[in-house]
Amino acid sequence: MPTTSLRTLQPRKTPVQERSVVTVDAILQAAIQVLVSVGKERLTTTLVAMRAGVSVGTLYQYFPNKSALLQASLKRHMHGVATSIDRVCKEYRSASLLTMGDALIDAYISAKMHNVKESAALYSVSSDLDGLAIAKAAGARGRRVVAELFATASEGLTKDPEIVATMVMAALNGVSRRLLEAKSPERELAPLREELLVLVRGYLLTCIATKPAT
Amino acid sequence: MPTTSLRTLQPRKTPVQERSVVTVDAILQAAIQVLVSVGKERLTTTLVAMRAGVSVGTLYQYFPNKSALLQASLKRHMHGVATSIDRVCKEYRSASLLTMGDALIDAYISAKMHNVKESAALYSVSSDLDGLAIAKAAGARGRRVVAELFATASEGLTKDPEIVATMVMAALNGVSRRLLEAKSPERELAPLREELLVLVRGYLLTCIATKPAT
DNA sequence: TGTTTAGATGAAGGAACCTTCAGCTTTGGA
DNA sequence: TCCAAAGCTGAAGGTTCCTTCATCTAAACA
């Protein structure tokens, strides 16, 4: 059973004039900013509205409740990452498996690291009952797309592309998370990225029948 | 700056009689149960007390506030996992690197899978401002201990043990998380565990100067 | 058995905060 | 220019829930 009915989570009003589009955008941006600065526990709708430079009433014209607001913020973030992954999956179709791995790592890591604070703050939303479903769906979608990419690899796969995608994405998630909760993610980025390449390459090699000369 | 002063988070009263020890235990267990059944959002101190079969007042004699209660629950869980890791680190000192990897995977996965619902429910606590510090500390501690283990490997390491430990633990975390948020973790356990072994073995091989005959 | 200390109770205070709505302002087109 | 629709406002209602404390019961001990 879902936490709230679907009806309750739909936007209350769809922006038609230009200014309201700006408003909705400002609210979503403000939500992230508040999330980053005070955390999910102390985030209030009034605070978000203030930060966005509008009144609470305005916020509630576009988001039926607090949960919907947070979910929308999370979706927006996830969408950004998904777009990066999708681009890679289109661009590297039929390439070699190792090339795909490298490209995925770059895309995923740089999308997450683009705004470290934001990515880190959203973990608290994605771990909640409401956010969990969104995170899971995004994960499943990413896995599916990457599995399809792997299926086109120039070398033949010795394993189910689904499971290969699962492992690669799990490793990506694990390392990203570790990176995001570091004191200084920027400092650790280079070495961890390098090592992640080694980890994934090593694994992908075991998924190929005939080893290429690398 | 921490969310709450250290003073505020210390237990209010330390159990001296046997019955109060039982009470504290019941409260902590109840907290987990409530967390599992209604989620962090809807967990209330009254609900936890009811579930534990005591009154709210009693709860507040041992936990200064709700946050402290959740933190204590998280610590308890983390401690269980840490103990498993520690045991491995003592037992496999000076063994071969690959053996260490296999043992770590088994210990970590089985500790997390011991109670799937509990592990999954606690993610919401560990992503919060309060829980984050605990989770980070536990992660750092685990990494340190595992790095020390790796440093004793019978084969020589070509890399800093710290970074090797970091990568292995990140992979473990990533896969565990994926497992815990699956619809049916039990069903996926075997294949994912198997594949995790492949992933980690492949990586550890790159950390050894001379490859052993496996 | 009497006294002291530990443990337990739960109604009630009170703060925090989500959400509404009646009314006001701005925009865009007729 | 004028009006209907879109957009905005923010004080106040209402809930939820954390936390306290005066009071009661059980245990330890002399």
pLDDT in tens, A170-200: 999 999 999 999 999 999 999 999 999 999 9
Pull the structure tokens for residue B26. Answer: 């019941």
CA of A57 to C1' of C22 (A): 12
Q: What does the pLDDT profile of chain A (214 residues) look like in tens digits? A: 333 344 455 667 788 788 889 999 999 999 999 999 999 999 999 999 999 999 999 999 999 999 999 999 999 999 999 999 999 999 999 999 999 999 999 999 999 999 999 999 999 999 998 899 999 999 999 999 999 999 999 999 999 999 999 999 999 999 999 999 999 999 999 999 999 999 999 999 999 987 555 4
**pLDDT at site B129:** 87
With beta carbons under 8 A apart, name residues in chain B contacting A162.
none
User: Who has greater pLDDT, B158 or B20?
Assistant: B158
* Contacts with A191 from chain B: Cβ below 8 Å: 163
User: Residue A157 phi/psi, 5° resolution?
Assistant: -90, 140
Positions of chain C reached by protein Cβ under 7 A:
6-12, 16-22, 27-28
Please check whether strand C approaches the CB of A60 to within 7 Å. yes
> What stretch of H or E contains B21?
helix B18-38
Q: Do A41 and B129 touch (CB under 8 A)?
A: yes
What residues are paired with B208 via a beta bridge?
Answer: B157
Number of CB atoms found within 10 A of residue B19's CB: 8
Q: Does B189 touch chain A (CB under 8 A)?
A: no
Model confidence at B130: pLDDT above 80: yes
CB of A40 within 8 Å of any CB in chain B? yes
Calculate how close chain A gets to B178, using CA atoms only, in Å: 7
Residue of B147, B170, B171 whose CA lies nearest to B97:
B147
Task: Give the per-residue pLDDT at A14.
Answer: 85
Is the C-beta atom of A94 closer than 7 angstroms to strand C?
no
Give the integer Cα–Cα distance in Å for B93 and B81.
19
Average pLDDT, chain B: 93
pLDDT of residue A208: 94
Q: Specify the pLDDT at position A13.
A: 78
- CB spacing of B195 vs A39 below 8 angstroms: no
What residues does A157 pair with on adjacent strands?
A208
Calculate how close chain A gets to B19, using CA atoms only, in Å: 34
Question: B128–A41: do the CB atoms touch at under 8 Å?
Answer: yes
At residue A188, the pLDDT reads 97
pTM of the model: 0.92
A15 Cβ under 8 Å from any chain B Cβ = no
Neighbours of A200 (CB within 10 A): 26
Q: Do B163 and A195 touch (CB under 8 A)?
A: yes
pLDDT in tens, B25-71: 999 999 999 999 999 999 999 999 999 999 999 999 999 999 999 99
Residues B104-130 have a mean pLDDT of 96
Cα–Cα distance measured from residue A90 to residue A78, given in angstroms and rounded to the nearest whole number: 18
